[in-house]
């Protein structure tokens, strides 16, 4: 808990003075006012985060947290749970979708075992930070203890602190875990005060009982554990996932280190809600990448108050949407760096 508390204390508001300078430059560039839309907003946000008018975001990384879920035994997924382990082992080979997309922007992908059921070999190229072999079954009791929930957040913070020392200046969040739309939807149901059936989707493949059964399991878990919607750590502990906590930690760590963090899709956005509930100032450092196809994604983004940049009908996860959005941030910085102002070209307006 000490690391989490210290991290929260380090999170500051964005640099309003630098954002003002960025706005002045954006408004004076050789273009009609606001004609580059969201690109202008991103450039200004990046200036406020980094305290630099021309920020460097050339050292990129996606941190993908991998974990399993005890609620899998309730039949909420049609996929074998062993896929989590098998897929995590493929990251070093660069086979998953996030790895392929990350090649476009030169981002490295770091796979972290924070709670995979089963053992990861030492030579697998996976960062081993396992807290336990998956969460407990939230339909029978809390998914984890409060201490384990805090530990999962602190793993994410530690990852960012390590990468910051290596010069990483742009981060993205990702996850890997069969069944993880179930705890994500449970969290969203509590924070959004809605019935699970309204926001429950198929995920990577729903079990034989269908969406109705999946929603019923979520409803049962919430009724049993009674998570406190005003305490993000309590919600995470009772009905969440280790990788969700890990991603929340990445976001808090990024904010503490003044590093912009691109949020992937549905599950990452739910993690962002947990992070923002722990420290609201952190939200200013988040950039939403894409609108996931999962039914709860719209509500999650509305609660977070951040509009995604892309609508690509994606729902893969892994950090794939964040990786796809990285070049847009590069374009925003290039606009600020290379586009001239009217004064610089001797034009009067």
Catalytic residues: 318
Contact 292, 315 (CB under 8 A): yes
Strand ranges in the chain using DSSP code E only, listed in sequence order: 60-67, 108-115, 127-128, 170-176, 261-263, 286-288
Coil vs helix vs strand at 50: helix
DSSP characters for 219-239?
Answer: HHHHHHH---TT-HHHHHHHH
Helix (H) or strand (E) holding 23: helix 16-28
DSSP characters for 100-160?
Answer: HHHHHHT-EEEEEEEE-SSPPPTTSS-EE--SSSS---TTTS-SS-HHHHHHHHHHHHHHH
Coil vs helix vs strand at 212: helix
Q: Which two tokens stand for residue 316?
A: 């893969």
- In angstroms, the CA 326 to CA 270 distance is 20
- In angstroms, the CA 215 to CA 296 distance is 12
Coil vs helix vs strand at 72: helix
- In angstroms, the CA 299 to CA 318 distance is 20
Half-sphere exposure of 2 (CA within 13 A, CB side): 0
């Amino acid at each position: 808990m000490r690391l989490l508390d210290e991290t929260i204390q380090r999170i500051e508001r964005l640099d309003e003075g630098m954002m003002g300078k960025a706005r002045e430059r954006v408004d004076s560039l050789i273009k009609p006012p606001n004609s580059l839309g969201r690109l202008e907003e991103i450039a200004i946000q990046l200036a406020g985060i980094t305290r630099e008018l021309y920020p460097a975001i050339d050292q990129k990384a996606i941190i993908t947290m991998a974990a399993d879920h005890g609620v899998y035994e309730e039949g909420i997924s049609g996929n074998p749970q062993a896929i989590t382990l098998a897929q995590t082992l493929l990251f070093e080979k660069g086979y998953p979708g996030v790895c392929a997309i990350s090649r476009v922007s030169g981002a490295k992908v770091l796979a972290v075992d924070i709670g995979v059921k089963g053992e990861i070999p030492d030579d697998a190229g996976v960062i081993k930070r396992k807290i336990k072999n998956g969460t407990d079954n939230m339909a029978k009791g809390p998914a984890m203890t409060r201490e384990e929930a805090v530990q999962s957040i602190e793993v994410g913070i530690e990852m960012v602190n390590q990468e910051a020392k290596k010069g990483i200046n742009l981060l993205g969040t990702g996850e890997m875990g069969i069944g993880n739309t179930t705890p994500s939807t449970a969290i969203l149901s509590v924070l959004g005060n809605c019935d699970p059936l309204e926001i429950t989707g198929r995920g990577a493949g729903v079990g034989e009982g269908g969406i109705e059964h999946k929603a019923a399991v979520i409803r049962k878990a919430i009724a049993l554990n009674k998570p406190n919607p005003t305490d993000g750590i309590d919600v995470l502990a009772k009905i969440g996932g280790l990788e969700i906590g890990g991603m929340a930690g990445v976001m808090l760590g990024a904010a503490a280190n003044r590093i912009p963090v691109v949020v992937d899709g549905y599950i990452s956005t739910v993690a962002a809600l947990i992070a923002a509930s722990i420290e609201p100032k952190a939200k200013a450092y988040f950039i939403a990448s894409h609108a996931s196809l999962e039914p709860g994604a719209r509500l999650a983004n509305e609660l977070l108050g951040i509009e995604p940049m892309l609508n690509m009908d994606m729902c893969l996860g892994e950090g794939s949407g964040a990786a796809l959005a990285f070049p847009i941030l590069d374009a925003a910085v290039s606009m600020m760096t290379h586009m001239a102002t009217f004064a610089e070209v001797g034009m009067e307006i």
